[in-house]
């Protein structure tokens, strides 16, 4: 299937949220401070990339994350708003490459690249479940 007919570079999505205890470093275990956790920021970036293309894919198809290359540039305290943006930069077969950025109300807090791969859900899950049979 040629996904370049339905996915084009430039597709993007923004996610807005507020830093709370739920997405703090102390809860995520990535530190003990009441600030946005780096893994939480990365999860928002992955979610943005996933959601940007998910609605355009045919039924039975989805994407999975394959690589993240992220810099967390600045701490964001609890109560502050964040905006995370993912933009599709390129498509190589079923490989998707995104630019991701995160901002809080004071400026940029994170940036980087994220790659995803388009998968056929049923085949992917069958392969994943078959791993249990190898034990």
46 is catalytic: yes
| Length, in residues, of the chain | 135
**Nearest-angstrom CA–CA distance, 60 and 123:** 10
3-state DSSP assignment of residue 90: strand
- The enclosing H or E element of 53 equals helix 38-54
Catalytic position from the list 5, 18, 21, 46 = 46
Catalytic position from the list 50, 72, 103, 114 = 72
Catalytic position from the list 18, 38, 97, 113 = 38
CA atoms within 13 A on the CB side of 28: 20
Known catalytic residues are 38, 46, 72
């Amino acid at each position: 299937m040629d996904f370049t007919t339905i996915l084009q570079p430039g597709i993007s999505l923004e996610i807005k949220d507020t830093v709370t205890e739920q997405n703090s470093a102390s809860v995520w275990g990535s530190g003990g401070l009441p600030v946005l956790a780096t893994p939480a920021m990365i999860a928002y970036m992955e979610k943005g990339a996933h959601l940007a293309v998910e609605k355009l894919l045919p039924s039975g198809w989805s994407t999975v994350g394959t690589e993240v290359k992220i810099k967390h540039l600045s701490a964001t305290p609890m109560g502050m708003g964040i905006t995370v943006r993912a933009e599709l930069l390129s498509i190589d077969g079923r490989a998707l490459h995104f630019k991701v950025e995160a901002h809080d109300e004071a400026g940029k807090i994170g940036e980087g690249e994220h790659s995803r791969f388009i998968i056929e859900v049923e085949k992917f899950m069958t392969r994943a479940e078959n791993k249990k049979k190898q034990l």
